[in-house]
Amino acid sequence: GAVVSQHPSRVICKSGTSVKIECRSLDFQATTMFWYRQFPKQSLMLMATSNEGSKATYEQGVEKDKFLINHASLTLSTLTVTSAHPEDSSFYICSARGPSGGPTDTQYFGPGTRLTVL
Amino acid sequence: KNQVEQSPQSLIILEGKNCTLQCNYTVSPFSNLRWYKQDTGRGPVSLTIMTFSENTKSNGRYTATLDADTKQSSLHITASQLSDSASYICVVSALVPYKYIFGTGTRLKVLA
C-alpha cells in the first residue's frame, strides 16, 4: 500500500522558534496533501489542504502566516510553525491523497509529529 | 451541517470478546465511509472503505456495515486481541467538495 512518511517524529523547541515538519509520499505522487492537528483524546482537525504548485487552502480559524505550507513537489509538503508558542504543542499529522484523483480516493496518513513547545 | 458522531466514546472489553462500534452521519452529498484504526501516537490506518451501494465489508476480524438509508455504520471486531486497543475513527467523505469529515472516535481498550 501507499506509504507516507513524516519527519521529525518528535520535536521539542523553545517558545519563539520556528519548526519545520516534512511530509513525503514515498511510492506515489500526491497532487494534494492535507495537514491535521490532533489534541489529546480528540479527533483530527483539518488545518489546510496543500496542492502542488499552488497556495494552500486554510480552514477557518487557522492562521496562514503562522502555519506556512509549501508543496513544492509531487512527493513533498512541508509545514512550518512560525514563532511557536506552548499552545501550538500538538500532534501534527499529514496525509496524501491517492493517485487517481477520483472521489473515492483514500487519504494515506503519515505517522505524525509530536511538537512540544517549552 | 456535515457531522459524524460515534458511540460509545470509550469501551473496555476482555480479550477474546466481540464488540461493535457505531457511527451516525449527516453528510451530503455522500461519497464513501471509512473506518480507521489509530494507535496512540501514530497516524490513522485504513481498515475498510464502503461506497453507497455496499452494505458490508470485511477485513480479517473487522467487519463494517453501512445502511445508507438511515446513515448509520458499524464496525464489528471479532475475537478481540490486545493489539486491538486503539482509537477507531469513522470518516465520511463528502463528494463535492472532496473532504473528509471525521468522527470523534471510539477509544477501545482490550484487557487480558
- Phi then psi for residue A87, to 5 deg, are -70, -10
The reply to whether B49 touches chain A by the CB within 8 Å rule is yes
Q: Decide if A70 contacts A64 (C-beta within 8 A).
A: no
* Three-class SS of chain B: CCEEEEECCEEEEECCCCEEEEEEEECCCEEEEEEEEECCCCCCEEEEEEECCCCEEEECCEEEEEECCCCEEEEEECCCCHHHCEEEEEEEEECCCCEEEECCCEEEEEEC
Looking at A39-53, A95-109, B40-54, B69-83, which range is the least confident one?
A95-109
Closest chain A C-alpha to B23 CA, distance in angstroms: 14
Using CA atoms, how far apart are residues A62 and A44, in angstroms rounded to an integer? 14
% of chain A at pLDDT higher than 70: 94
- Phi then psi for residue B82, to 5 deg, are -55, -35
Closest chain B C-alpha to A59 CA, distance in angstroms: 12
The pLDDT, as a whole number, for residue B74 is 98
Residues B10-28 have pLDDT tens digits of 999 999 999 999 999 998 8
Assess whether pLDDT exceeds 90 at residue B33: yes
The pLDDT, as a whole number, for residue A99 is 67
Residues B79-108 have pLDDT tens digits of 999 999 999 999 998 877 778 899 989 999
Using CA atoms, how far apart are residues A102 and B6, in angstroms rounded to an integer? 27
For chain B, positions 54-73, list CB contacts with chain A under 8 A.
Answer: none
Best probe of the B interface among A23, A104, A114, A116, by most B CBs < 10 A, is: A104
The reply to whether B43 touches chain A by the CB within 8 Å rule is yes
The pLDDT, as a whole number, for residue B31 is 86
Question: What radius of gyration do chain A's Cα atoms show?
Answer: 14
Mean pLDDT of A6-17: 96
Looking at A15-19, A91-95, B10-14, B48-52, which range is the least confident one?
B48-52
In angstroms, the Cα distances linking B16 to A22, B13, B65 are 40, 9, 21
The pLDDT, as a whole number, for residue A101 is 58
Assess whether pLDDT exceeds 90 at residue A29: no
Quote the cell numbers at residue A81: 510553525
Closest chain A C-alpha to B9 CA, distance in angstroms: 10
The pLDDT, as a whole number, for residue B108 is 98
% of chain B at pLDDT higher than 70: 100
Using CA atoms, how far apart are residues A70 and A55, in angstroms rounded to an integer? 8
Using CA atoms, how far apart are residues A92 and A9, in angstroms rounded to an integer? 9
The pLDDT, as a whole number, for residue A1 is 66
The pLDDT, as a whole number, for residue B111 is 97
Closest Cα in chain B to A103: B95
The pLDDT, as a whole number, for residue A30 is 86
Closest chain A C-alpha to B79 CA, distance in angstroms: 25
Q: How confident is the model at residue A102 (pLDDT cuts 50, 70, 90)?
A: low
The reply to whether A22 touches chain B by the CB within 8 Å rule is no
Using CA atoms, how far apart are residues B3 and B49, in angstroms rounded to an integer? 18
Assess whether pLDDT exceeds 60 at residue A103: no
Quote the cell numbers at residue A82: 512560525
Report the candidate in A37, A30, A34 with the shortest Cα–Cα distance to residue A2.
Answer: A30
The pLDDT, as a whole number, for residue A97 is 86
